[in-house]
Amino acid sequence: MMQLRRRQSGLSYLEVVIATGILAISLVPMLEGLQTALLGTDVTGASALAEQRVVAGMEEMLAESFAALDAAALAAGSQTTPSSYSEAPGTPDRRIVYLSRYDGDNADGDNQPFTGVDAGLIWIRVEIEGTVHGLEALTAP
């Protein structure tokens, strides 16, 4: 006695309806996730542009002569006063440059980097106003 096997040769209508329903239900969260990712690219793009502007500004400062930086640091007067290398107030995404002589050897013993400063060391900070994007460096003649 041989038993005949019945082969299924396609999907039934019910299976197609159930699969379509599952896809329709899962489509909403997938599209919401895609929308969030697309919004994130705008933020990431603006952040990357700000970082590029900060790096370019720092490269410009490090390309300046030590004498010019020293003169600008003395003219600024303190590490919290923007130097003449800063962009004009009101400029969109304004790049601010701070310059100051720096106490690298701590000869005065107060552990304050901006008191008892060394004449041969300049601290540079370049930042984008109102953001967290900034870089600091020290330069010497």
Q: Look-up: residue for tokens 């390309």?
A: 63
Domain count, the chain: 1
Label residue 100 exposed, middle or buried (CB < 10 Å: 0-12, 13-18, 19+). Answer: buried
Supply φ then ψ for residue 71, to 5 degrees. -60, -40
Instruction: Look at residue 116 and tell me if it is in a domain.
Output: yes
Q: Cβ(58)–Cβ(126) under 8 Å?
A: yes
Instruction: Look at residue 89 and tell me if it is in a domain.
Output: yes
Instruction: Look at residue 69 and tell me if it is in a domain.
Output: yes
Domain that holds residue 132: 13-139
> What's the pLDDT score for residue 3?
60
Instruction: Look at residue 7 and tell me if it is in a domain.
Output: no
Eight-class DSSP state of 1? -
Tell me the longest C-alpha to C-alpha distance in the chain. Answer: 107
Instruction: Look at residue 5 and tell me if it is in a domain.
Output: no
User: Mean pLDDT per segment of 10 residues, for the chain of length 141 residues?
Assistant: 61 86 89 82 83 94 93 89 92 93 81 78 93 93 88
Instruction: Look at residue 1 and tell me if it is in a domain.
Output: no
The three-state secondary structure class of 118 is strand
CA separation for the pair 61, 111 (Å, rounded)? 26
Instruction: Look at residue 56 and tell me if it is in a domain.
Output: yes
Q: Cβ(76)–Cβ(100) under 8 Å?
A: yes
> What's the pLDDT score for residue 133?
93
CA separation for the pair 59, 116 (Å, rounded)? 27
Instruction: Look at residue 48 and tell me if it is in a domain.
Output: yes
